[in-house]
Structure 1
Amino acid sequence: MARDHLLVIDQGTTSTRVIVYDLNLRPVGHGQEEIPPSYPRSGWVEHDARTVVASVGAEVTTALLNARVRAEQIAAIGITNQRETTIVWDRASGEPIAPALVWQDRRTAEACNRLRDQESWISRKTGLVIDPYFSATKIAWLLDNVDGARRKAEAGELAAGTVDTLLIRHLTGGEHLTDSTNASRTLLMDLETDQWSDELCEVFGVPRRLLPEIRPSAGDFGRTKGLDYLPDGIPITGVAGDQQSSLMGQGCVREGQAKCTYGTGAFLLAHTGSRIIPSAHGLLTTRAATIRDEPAQYALEGSVFIAGAAVQWFRDGLKVIHSAPEIGDLALKGDPESEVVFVPAFTGLGSPHWQPAARGTLYGLTRATTLADIARAALEGVAFQVADLIKAIEEDLKEKLPGLNVDGGMSRSDAFLGFQADVLGRPVRRSPETESTALGAALLAGLGAGVWPDREAALALLASGGKTFDPTRDDKWRNKALERWRKAVATTREHYTLGAD
């Protein structure tokens, strides 16, 4: 039977999706299961790791049935995942010792503050800032707060990793591996050497023996073994964190190409080729997906913690709308001259502000304010955050980005992308494939398995087209709106900095 399909597992913050692609990178079947995080305390965000793993088998089966493809037709598997989310498990049994700590979790803010005097050299080595966002302090917290965990870790009885590593272990029956994009988000990897750093492990209190082996994103991550929903022997040949996978899926593989993905958060990446460019403006330097035997690739990244999550709050918290897409129509009914500003810092402010103590804040409410005005402010709050990222990236690159490629859930909203174009004052192009994260993982898996002769042949399969949104507001409006936004952010940061004291 011909192995003429690729299977992608896209494990995200709020759901697990599985998509089957043919070798022309056309999706032919999918399955999806919602897996919402839990919030046991203010600032804490967790996943049940067992539920995450269990969802994979069910959705693989659904996707194959929908595609009318037999498992024996799968040439290779790709994995893309929510990054930084951290799990520690028993090395022998695979059982997690505690819930997974999601990337949004802020419980280690105090531990991060204790390391501020070492931030300069740690940032040079990792490309990151010291923040609860990343995995290192999460691992240490689990070792220090689960009975007996640190003793077991030092005895070699535990393993730790991000979601990709947990899924690889499950799919292969025991391989302990990760790829360079996920490893670069831990605060434990040396960005230049692509290896775990003993110095960083010591500073963060993470035994190196816990950590997986690091491999290129398109490479060998073992073969399926011991599953009741897939046969043994299917190779896993593509693994990348969701944002680097999306960068690949948008065809942004050369220096200067940029994209923004609007998921639970919003993530803007600009490819910098083989150059490591340290940021002087609050951004992150990170690994881009790398194909086996090619030079290491890098990107500048800005991370907004709350994007689609603001819409979910509007739906599930305020219960103003019944489904997420309704917010666009409601926002269009808001007063375009309203001065309501929403800073959606539910779990702190990410790039370029890095204020973990901040929380969501509304400004400018009057007796005339309507729910439509607040809906508009919620969407604009996401768009303003992306404008801050664009400004920072252009200052680091010392050149202007001509436009922005976008994908992800919020990019389906014409109303939102209209706001985004107005705020940026430049065109915004919606990808013809609004879920390019999974597409990038399929591309990496196919390259890793040798399905196509080279990268250029694979990239030629990516769909062209998409819809472009041009700005409709003038510079006077834009400058005033951005000034109001930045004043709101500065006030929020000051308030919560004082509150932290």
Structure 2
Amino acid sequence: MKNEKYILAIDQSTSGTKVMLVNTRGEYIHKCAGDHIQYYPKADWVEHDPVDIYENVKTLLKEIVQTSGISQEELAVLAITNQRETVVVWDRETGIPVYNAIVWQCRRTSDFCEELKEQGYEEMIQSKTGLKVDPYFSASKIKWILDHVDGVKDRAREGMLLAGTVDSWLIWKLTCGNVHATDYSNASRTLLFNIKTLQWDDQLLDLFDIPYTMLPVVKSSNEIFGVTEDPNLPFTSLPISGVIGDSQGSLFGQKCFEPGMAKATYGTGTSLMMHTGELVKGTKGLVTSIAWGLNGKVDYALEGIINSTGDVIKWLKEQLELIGDVDEAEQLANSVPDNQGVYLVPAFVGLGAPYWNPYTRAAILGMSRNTGKPHIVRAALESITYQVKDVIGSMETQSNIHLMSLKADGGATSNRFLMQYQADILNLDVMVSQVSELSSMGSVYLAGLGVGIWNSVDEIRELNQEYEQYYPIMSSNIRDKNYQGWKDSVKVVLVK
């Protein structure tokens, strides 16, 4: 490993944190991972402990330095990719959070978002941010903390509190409170950032009653955000760059550098994202986001958000105890020839795109006396693919681009039944990256550009990246019949 520079990448996701060491050929050398606790204090509420998250990050950074034998001199830069929309509010002086992080899945602000719609604010908000008025995004979460934690609103108005997505929290902690910053991709998911002017928007801040002084400086993803100063880290003064939200990170990691290229990240939820280059207004269940800022230029993307995909597999294991591990889900699904008319609509926290209905709840439909465990497990896996098809249909209509293939990444892509069924139901080739951690690879590429390891995206294109390709083999009659069954099931459970 001597005489070569390496990039450290933090991937802080919904379920845990991974830290990876990558060389200049874009190859993973070492990886460490650890979970954090999910808190569900009430129905539809989801929280994380931000202190626990940062302690995990430090532990994993120490572990990877120790296990890899990497030296300070060999480290070039620290990259960060993160779960988006999840927000932290903390004290500017003590660094102590005033409340748990409210997670993107949390629906506690659904009623407030409905009030904004009823008051006629939705069109104004969407025109500025490209987003729906929905509890998924960050602004109403920050407002909830300010409104419900004793004394917090006054402290915020006095300039004593800071707020940010998880990337901002980590940067602030890593730099010992010397840098409060985020990147364009994360800022564009808050409902507070004007994606046309590229500024925090005063009208939106007033609407959500959030002081401007709480918010981070917004930078391009490949800028140098600062240097590490926490004395408890196993290195000092390491530049921080390559900061990007996880879905946009995987778009960059999949090398979707050209308008019209698209990817799906199968994580807890799924983000389907198409690079559009210029700003395209999202309709029919799509939202518009900033893909990234690179060398001062901002690119845009259309995105469809699905709330529950990989989380469905976790639910099968942890709540229903139908499977012992992820591999068993694939085996059970393959043990039966079809779903026997059983459909699962996994609206555990409402339905995302193209429905955007936070009140709909999950249901299993079509069961008979012959329904067994394999049919329910198969229906759960199939539900992921149907949701993806819903979004791609909206995406193609909105963009007037017919996708020729779909690039896929994320933990659930290891399930071969899932990927084959996805190709079948889409009638498209699905290209699964053999680099499973595409979000972190996107941040690595951007960090490398930030410190001069690579000089252009053309150089990144030349880095090896292999795909496993799935080809559709399902007949059109079966495809249409199965998908119609899904649409009929959604109609049954959809709350008007």
TM-score by length of 1: 0.96
Alpha-carbon separation, structure 2, partners of 1:304 and 1:152: 36
Partner of 2:53: 52
Q: 1:220 aligns with which of 220, 224, 236?
A: 224
Percent identity between the aligned chains? 38
The code of the aligned residue for 2:123 comes to: S
Partner of 2:345: 343
2:268 pairs with 1:267 = no
CA change 1:172–1:424 in 2 (3 A) is same
Partner of 1:290: 293
The code of the aligned residue for 2:358 comes to: P
Alpha-carbon deviation of 1:459? 2.8
Alpha-carbon separation, structure 2, partners of 1:483 and 1:381: 12
Partner of 1:184: 188
Alpha-carbon deviation of 1:3? 6.6
Does the 8 Å CA contact 1:46/1:99 hold for their aligned counterparts? yes
Partner of 2:93: 92
The code of the aligned residue for 1:59 comes to: L
- The two structures, once aligned, show a CA RMSD in angstroms of 1.2
Alpha-carbon deviation of 1:216? 0.5
Alpha-carbon separation, structure 1, partners of 2:282 and 2:455: 36
User: Superposed, which structure 2 residues align to 1:479-490 within 5 Å?
Assistant: 479-490=480-491
**Structure 1, residues 288-310: CA drift from partner, whole Å, max 9, x if none?**
122123x2101000111101110
SS at match of 1:281: coil
Alpha-carbon deviation of 1:231? 2.8
Alpha-carbon separation, structure 1, partners of 2:250 and 2:304: 14
User: Superposed, which structure 2 residues align to 1:18-417 within 5 Å?
Assistant: 18-116=19-117, 117-174=120-177, 175-273=179-277, 275-293=278-296, 295-336=297-338, 338-417=340-419
SS at match of 2:98: coil
Alpha-carbon separation, structure 1, partners of 2:149 and 2:106: 17
Alpha-carbon separation, structure 2, partners of 1:149 and 1:407: 40
Alpha-carbon separation, structure 2, partners of 1:11 and 1:195: 25
Does the 8 Å CA contact 1:180/1:287 hold for their aligned counterparts? yes
Alpha-carbon separation, structure 2, partners of 1:71 and 1:325: 39
Alpha-carbon separation, structure 1, partners of 2:94 and 2:75: 28
Alpha-carbon deviation of 1:47? 0.3
State the 4+ residue runs in structure 1 displaced beyond 3 angstroms.
none
The code of the aligned residue for 1:30 comes to: K
SS at match of 2:494: helix
The 10-residue stretch of structure 1 (10-19 or 331-340) with the greater mean CA deviation from structure 2: 331-340
**Structure 1, residues 50-86: CA drift from partner, whole Å, max 9, x if none?**
1001000110111222322123321001000000001
Partner of 1:423: 425
Does the 8 Å CA contact 2:65/2:234 hold for their aligned counterparts? no
The 10-residue stretch of structure 1 (239-248 or 423-432) with the greater mean CA deviation from structure 2: 423-432
The 10-residue stretch of structure 1 (481-490 or 51-60) with the greater mean CA deviation from structure 2: 481-490
The 10-residue stretch of structure 1 (467-476 or 209-218) with the greater mean CA deviation from structure 2: 467-476
Unaligned runs of 5+ in 1: none
Alpha-carbon deviation of 1:9? 0.4
SS at match of 1:161: strand
Alpha-carbon deviation of 1:249? 0.6
Alpha-carbon separation, structure 1, partners of 2:228 and 2:339: 57
Unaligned runs of 5+ in 2: none
SS at match of 1:41: coil
SS at match of 2:477: helix
Alpha-carbon separation, structure 1, partners of 2:124 and 2:491: 27
Partner of 1:476: 477
Alpha-carbon separation, structure 2, partners of 1:399 and 1:177: 35
The code of the aligned residue for 2:150 comes to: D
Alpha-carbon separation, structure 2, partners of 1:146 and 1:45: 16
**Structure 1, residues 369-422: CA drift from partner, whole Å, max 9, x if none?**
011000000000010000001100000111200010101011011111011111
Alpha-carbon separation, structure 2, partners of 1:372 and 1:71: 51
Does the 8 Å CA contact 1:30/1:64 hold for their aligned counterparts? no
Does the 8 Å CA contact 2:435/2:465 hold for their aligned counterparts? no
Alpha-carbon separation, structure 1, partners of 2:335 and 2:347: 24
The 10-residue stretch of structure 1 (481-490 or 85-94) with the greater mean CA deviation from structure 2: 481-490
Alpha-carbon separation, structure 2, partners of 1:471 and 1:209: 52
Alpha-carbon separation, structure 2, partners of 1:142 and 1:32: 30
TM-score by length of 2: 0.97
2:447 pairs with 1:445 = yes
The code of the aligned residue for 2:64 comes to: A
Does the 8 Å CA contact 2:316/2:323 hold for their aligned counterparts? yes
**Structure 1, residues 435-471: CA drift from partner, whole Å, max 9, x if none?**
111111111111111112222112321x333111111
Alpha-carbon deviation of 1:230? 3.1
Partner of 2:17: 16
**Structure 1, residues 337-383: CA drift from partner, whole Å, max 9, x if none?**
51101001111111110001111111101100011000000000010
The code of the aligned residue for 1:54 comes to: E
